[in-house]
Chains A and B, each alone.
Chain A
Amino acid sequence: MSTSSEPTSHSPVRRTLKAKPFSRADRMFFGVARSASYFSVILIALILVFLFIRATPAFQSQGIGFIFGSNWNTSNPHHIVMQIGPMIWGSLLISVLGIILGVPMALSTAYFIEFMAGKTMARVATLVVDLLAAMPSVVIGLWGLVVFTPVASHWAELLHKALGFIPIFANTSGNFSASPFIAGWIVAVMIVPIITSISREIFSQMDRELINASLALGGSRSSTFFKVVLPTASGGVVGGVLLGLGRALGETVAIYFVLNLIFKVNWFNIIENQGGSVASMILSKFGEASDAEISGLMAAGLVLFVVTLVVNWIAAYIVNKAQPWRKL
């Protein structure tokens, strides 16, 4: 039979090509993977729907004041006021403090483990950080209350004495405990492990030749870190910080122990004995809440979820803007 091409009268039919799993094992594997991912999406959707339905009465009765007002009074069942402005602001303030205090700690630790420590020391340090990650937050809260608060109150007092003329370090009550400053430290302790382990991972994948290039150009260890390692790793490090931030915003029990929750916005007096946290507020009110109050707490949870989401988006946007080379 000749293999020369016969002129065909019609163009060949286009066949559909599918990357479908063929074997039984592959079909099962695909099935499991797909249902697991559907399951998690559905679960999240269900949680949101549930929250939304339960939160609706509170949103309806409180209006926009729920988010921007600063009053919580449920003693009169005919006139319930639930406004969580100070709690939202407090969550943000504590998280920012936690990030400011925790990120340098985490990055230094990651740098030490990855670039300075010998093998044994690196292993020990990693173990300690992992232990810290595994520490239940209620334990950290207890430690924060019993051990850390007296110490940090003293630091706050010193700060106030030295820098009290700056409004941030103002304190009118004379009580330096249970402040956003202390809650910020607790948040820092809780987010250091995750930011450390993600940064360490990023550092370890970093091209050593870039570090060598920098040192060969007369760079010092510190200039190499700040001008080469950190910029190159920044995308991943910020990812770690965002995960930490998510945790910081949602942190509940530990902050409940160390912060004086007050329904009055504390804008930035970080060593004043009052602050807010949405998550801790929900915990503190949940026990003896009426139906109406439960709806308010659900609404607060929903707001916290949205705030966390928005903060993450904004941060991701800033990161993309700041890294034009990533578009390559």
Chain B
Amino acid sequence: MSTRITGTSHLKSENVNVWFGERHVLKDVNITFPANQVTALIGPSGCGKSTFLRTLNRMHELIPGAGFAGKILLDGTDIYDPQMDPVNVRLNIGMVFQKPNPFPTMSIKDNVLSGLRLSGRKTDDASGLLESSLRRASIWNEVKDRLGDAALSLSGGQQQRLCIARALAMNPEVLLMDEPCSALDPGSTRRIEETIVELSESMTIVIVTHNMQQAQRVADETAFFLAEDGNPGGVVEFGNTEDVFNRPVDGRTNDYVNGHFG
């Protein structure tokens, strides 16, 4: 296993194990996500990438029957500590979902500011926050003249960038993205990838993707997950994206990144 860590350790998983009911789906996942870097999670369908991602901001525990063991450390603090309020965890660790899911009853503007309303937080400068969030998600120019329009009047790609803006408005330290481009056309995908690279200057990003080119374009680090038949999933290889794709240590990684299975 080739491991190269850049920057300070910011988010770290220690011996993460996950169950759904009696089923053990993830075993001993140890990953250190370097600060201000993009880490891609890749692997065949069903190996537990989304599940792992959801443990990183305590969304996992919302599923009935979900089990968890291990630690997730954010700047050294275990987010599963009984003293931790999961709401605070999620405010620090934002999430963008696979399918664009803007709130259908809200305008573009209200969607961006929805996190404030939902978490009962206030800001002195709502319009400043609105503009900066939309700019960071590279959608400001497209929507600045129609902020009051319904969010669903946007195209799928624009909706996804709106969802990114919505997450950014809470100013998270970490942003989790689960296949954020899988429902989008190549043009929108390209723009979101550029956004991801820009955002990584100010936050740590973890992205699940099935797109090998995308992983290579955006990710500094890559973790390859695999669940071999009947066994819980785990990390086979983790390291610098270049290395994982071009000089994989494990034969299974080599097979996967070259499209031999999965």
Contact = CB atoms under 8 A, between A and B. Distances in A.
Given A209-B99, A213-B163, A218-B87, A232 B104 contact: yes
B115 interface: yes
Interface in B130-152: 150, 152
A212 B119 contact: no
B152 to A, nearest CB: 6
Interface in A200-240: 207, 209-210, 212-220, 223-224, 227-228, 231-232, 234
Contacts of A209: 97, 99, 101
Contacts of A231: 103, 105-106
- Specify which of A212, A213, A231, A325 lies most central, judged by the most chain B CB atoms within 10 Å of its CB: A213
A323 B64 CA distance: 33
A19 interface: no
A97 B87 CA distance: 37
B71 interface: no
A1 interface: no
A232 B101 CA distance: 13
B94 interface: yes
Interface residues of A, number: 24
A219 B119 CA distance: 5
Nearest to B97: A209
Contacts of A218: 87-88, 90-91, 115, 118-119, 121, 170
A216 B167 CA distance: 9
Contacts of B115: 217-219
B59 A210 contact: no
Contacts of B109: none
A118 to B, nearest CB: 8
Contacts of A328: 150, 152-153
A103 B65 CA distance: 31
Contacts of B150: 324-325, 328
A199 B163 CA distance: 28
Given A218-B115, A227-B118, A213 B105 contact: no
B12 interface: no
Contacts of B87: 218-220
Contacts of B88: 218
Interface string A62-93: 00000000000000000000000000000000
Contact of B90 (A118, A207, A215, A325): A215
B228 to A, nearest CB: 29
A213 B170 CA distance: 13
A216 B94 contact: yes
Given A210-B101, A215-B62, A328-B152, A223 B120 contact: yes
A212 B97 CA distance: 9
A323 B105 CA distance: 8
B95 interface: yes
Contacts of A207: 101
A43 B152 CA distance: 43
Nearest to A233: B105
A210 B103 CA distance: 7
Interface in B77-98: 87-88, 90-91, 94-95, 97
Nearest to B107: A325
Contacts of A220: 87, 118-120
B260 interface: no
Contacts of B167: 216-217
- Specify which of A118, A213, A216 lies most central, judged by the most chain B CB atoms within 10 Å of its CB: A216
Nearest to A235: B105
A326 to B, nearest CB: 9
A232 B105 contact: yes
Nearest to B166: A217
A325 B105 CA distance: 6
Nearest to A232: B105
Given A210-B101, A218-B91, A227 B152 contact: no
Given A209-B99, A232-B104, A223 B153 contact: no
- Specify which of B64, B88, B114, B152 lies most central, judged by the most chain A CB atoms within 10 Å of its CB: B114
Nearest to B100: A209
Nearest to A213: B101
B57 interface: yes
A217 B101 contact: no
B221 to A, nearest CB: 23
Nearest to A327: B150
Interface of B: 57, 59, 62, 64, 87-88, 90-91, 94-95, 97, 99, 101, 103-106, 114-115, 117-121, 150, 152-153, 163, 166-167, 170
3 nearest interchain CB pairs? A219-B118, A218-B119, A217-B115
25 contacts: A209-B97, A209-B99, A210-B104, A212-B62, A213-B103, A214-B103, A215-B90, A216-B59, A216-B90, A216-B94, A216-B95, A216-B167, A217-B114, A218-B90, A218-B91, A219-B119, A220-B118, A220-B119, A223-B118, A227-B114, A227-B117, A232-B103, A234-B105, A325-B105, A328-B153
